[in-house]
Amino acid sequence: MGRKLLTIRYLGVNYHGWQVQDNANTVQAEICRALEKLFCQKINATGCSRTDAKVHALKYCLHFDCEKNIPDKNIVKALNTFLPNDIRAVDCTDADFDFHARYSCKSKTYIYKIYEGIEDPFLYGRALNYSKKLDIEKMQKFADGLLGTHDFKGFSNANELKDTVRTVSECKVYKSNSKTVIIKISANGFLYNMVRVIVGTLIEVSEGKIDLNLYDEIFKTKNRNLAGFTAIPDGLYLYDVKY
């Protein structure tokens, strides 16, 4: 009864992102379908962010309003019987009536997974394959330059002109095992394709195609053409959401 905060986890391979679309399967559509079955009424689920097609979520938060009084644990259990196996409800709690999964969000963290060497069938759709070796140190130096409050328009494919200033509080490049490189980015908000453009840029920095200190010019000029390519969605995971 009242407003609920639901935490889910999903493999994005089979979905056209979060947001409901005509003629495309989306996570929001699956969640609304499951909520409707459980509560026997149309329920709208509001997510913490639109994620692109094929992007994954290790933690994704959404809110919804319901009238029936069902214990939170049972909501989680029941939803998991209605949801497909690549989407799992993890936790459900009461939320204040003015809580909003998107607007109440203080910061989000994404990770991007790259694995070096030959293609691996177990990582297909789950990471970017890079046939050579990445220069972690160079990438980290550029990443350090992204920290703080800047206009990230040049690091995004956003068309809107208003409010493209964001604060990046963390941007780490590290190896999680001998072949896997992780790029971890936290910010108070992200522009369209921002993480994927930053990842593409860091890869081009590693390759020496983009100068180690170019971030300043990209911030100043807001010129998207100075930044790197847009990395494929496969390696991108929403990792944490903070309220």
> Which position among 24, 73, 96, 124 is part of the footprint of a copy of itself (CB under 8 A)?
124
Of the listed pieces 47-55, 92-100, 113-121, 146-154, which binds a copy of itself according to CB under 8 A?
Answer: 113-121
Query: Is 240 designated active site?
Result: no
Q: Interface with a copy of itself includes 196 (CB under 8 A)?
A: no
| Nearest-angstrom CA–CA distance, 135 and 122 | 24
Instruction: Tell me: does residue 71 bind a copy of itself (CB under 8 A).
Output: no
**Single residue of 7, 10, 145, 239 touching a copy of itself by CB under 8 A:** 10
Residue from 120, 163, 211, 216 touching a copy of itself (CB under 8 A): that is 120
Contact 32/43 with Cβ under 8 angstroms? Answer: yes
Q: How many CB atoms lie within 10 A of CB 40?
A: 9
Extract the tokens encoding 235. Answer: 């390696």
- The position carrying tokens 């053409």 is 225
Q: Are strands 236-242 and 56-66 parallel, antiparallel or unpaired?
A: parallel
Does position 86 interact with a copy of itself (CB under 8 A)? The reply is yes
Paired residues of 65 in beta bridges: 3
* Phi and psi based region of residue 223 (left: phi greater than 0; alpha: psi -120 to 50; beta: remaining): beta
Which residue, 90 or 226, is less far from a copy of itself as judged by CB?
Answer: 90
Which CB atom, from 96 or from 120, has the smaller least distance to a copy of itself? 120
Options 23, 85, 177, 178; binder of a copy of itself; rule CB under 8 A:
85
Contact status, residue 239 vs residue 183, Cβ threshold 8 Å: no
Q: Residue from 4, 56, 113, 196 that binds a copy of itself (CB under 8 A)?
A: 56
| Residues in CB range of 67: below 8 A, 6 or more apart | 1, 39, 41
- Is the CB of 52 or the CB of 234 nearer to a copy of itself? 234
Q: Which residues are catalytic?
A: 52
Q: Which residues bind a copy of itself (CB under 8 A)?
A: 9-11, 56, 58, 80, 85-88, 90, 118-122, 124-126
